[in-house]
Each structure stands twice: as C-alpha cells, then as structure tokens.
Amino acid sequence: MFDFKGKVALVTGGSRGIGRAISVGLGRGGATVIVNFAGNESAAQETCQLVEQAGGKAIARRFDVADPAACTAAVEETVKEHGGLHVLVHNAGIAIDQLLMRLKDEDLERQLDVNLKAAFYLCRAAARPMMKQRGGAIVNLTSVVGEMGNGGQTAYAATKAGLIGFTKSLAKELASRNVRANLVSPGFIDTDMTRDLPEDVRKAMLGAIPLGRLGSAEEVASAVCFLASDASAYVTGEVIRVNGGMLM
C-alpha cells in the first residue's frame, strides 16, 4: 500500500475494470479520487463507494475525454474545488478491432481521440498546476499491443504506441519541475474489454503468456499506484510492463 494522504487524483475511465482498481488503490492510500466515466453512472457510483470503503474520498465526474474543453474543465475545477492535482491517470481507452482494409475512418478517429489525443488535453491542463506545486505524477495506460503489434488492431496499437512517445517526451519537458510522467503497459487483463473475445483467440493468447493466466485489474493497479506515489520519486519516462511475461 502507498501513501496518498492529502493527495488529489483524477482517473479517467476510473469507474470500471482497471480504472476501478486504480481508483480503489489510490483511495486505500487516502487519496481524494475524481472518478471519471463516460456513460455508466451506476458503475461510477459503485466505484465511489468502494473508494470510500477503502479509506479515500471519491467524486464521480462524467465527461468524454475526447472533448478537449471537458478535459480542461475537469482539471481546472478539480484544482479549484480540492486545492490541487497531484496524480493524473489517463486510463480511459477503447479498442475497435478491425483489419486495416475494413477500418472505418470514424473508428480510427474515435480511437485516436479517446486513447491518444485525450492524453494531450489532460496532461496539458494538469501540467500547469503540477509545475506550480513543484510536484506531480502522471501515469498513462499503454498496452502490450502498442509495443509488439497485433493483427486487427492497427489503430488501437498506434494510439498506444503513440502514448509511449508522448509520455517520454512529456517526462523530459516536466522533469525540472519535479513532475514525473510514466506508463503502465498491461498484457491480457480480465476486464469487460477482453471478456467477449472468442474462445479460440483467448486460448491462443493464453498460450503466449509464460505465467499461463490472465492478469487482474488489481495487478495492473499496483504498478500504477507505485508510479503515482512517492515510492517512485526517481522514476520518470519509464514503461512498467504487467503482462505475465508475454513480452520481455
């Protein structure tokens, strides 16, 4: 467990799956967590309850991370209402799988907007208060697919690979103000995103994982909480893989 007492965190897509585990992990350390979600209000409320039960404070906030103005407003209002922003986790992400030959322009645009461009909007807004505070931790969620590629996921992989270049560059821009930027790269994790995969695809993927099982959202959240905490004070521009050995 890491100490987040007195810290304010914004977690995009913090209501379900990996994001929920991150919100609860931060709450366990005593953080005030802004739990962002897009549409599923009841999941967000349930997550807020879990954060509070774990010892933190939680506020659900609906906005589409693809909307630049909404991202800026979320950061600015968080700082105004809670006195600062110490941790930003851009976890919200979507995968619309299709072979390149059949990829629709709108599906490409949507994945770029939600997964990649949102990081620009959120981090740009968060950088100002974090630099002023002389401290902050940004953690972006990439994917094993962004590192090794995957047929049917050219767009998703491109957004996740883009996040790596973006975050490493940002780490260099913000380091002198003690603001760190890192990534966590999950492998095959048991969430709604992976639950609907056809049985043969699931079996093939399991065969490629040396640890022989899917990861849990909590196992990813542990790495995120480490990077969000002072325990990683000398770590920036880094990618922590949580993939059961799928890519070493």
Residues near ligand NAP, by CB under 6 A: 12-13, 15-19, 36-40, 43, 64-66, 91-94, 114, 141, 143, 186, 188-189, 191-194
- Asked whether 187 and 223 are in contact (CB, 8 A), the reply is no
- Between 52 and 178, CB nearer to ligand NAP: 52
Residue among 43 and 58 whose Cβ is closer to ligand NAP:
43
Q: Least distance to ligand NAP from the beta carbon of 94, Å?
A: 5
Shortest Å distance, C-beta 196 to ligand NAP: 10
156 catalytically annotated: yes
Sequence-separated (6 or more) residues with CB below 8 Å from residue 183: 139, 140, 141, 142, 163, 164, 167, 238, 239, 240
d(CA 56, CA 144): 31
Given a contact cutoff of 8 angstroms between Cβ atoms, the answer to whether 47 and 27 are in contact is: no
* Catalytic annotation, pick one of 156, 166, 170, 182: 156
Token look-up 């599906």 returns: 107
71 and 123 in contact (C-beta within 8 Å)? no
Closer CB to ligand NAP, 91 or 167, in the complex:
91
Provide the minimum distance between the beta carbon of 177 and ligand NAP in the complex, in angstroms, as a whole number: 26
Least separation, in Å, of the C-beta of 5 and ligand NAP? Answer: 25
Closer to ligand NAP by Cβ: residue 13 or 27: 13
Considering only CA atoms, which of 58, 18, 65 is closest in space to residue 39? 65
Token pair in block for residue 169? 């560059």
Nearer to ligand NAP, 131 or 206 (CB): 206
Residue 166 Cβ vs ligand NAP, minimum distance, rounded to whole Å: 14
Residue the block writes with tokens 């542990």: 222
Structure tokens at 12: 């995009």
Q: Measured between alpha carbons, how far is 107 from 154 in angstroms, rounded to an integer?
A: 11
C-alpha 132/C-alpha 79 separation (Å) is 12
Catalytic annotation, residues: 156
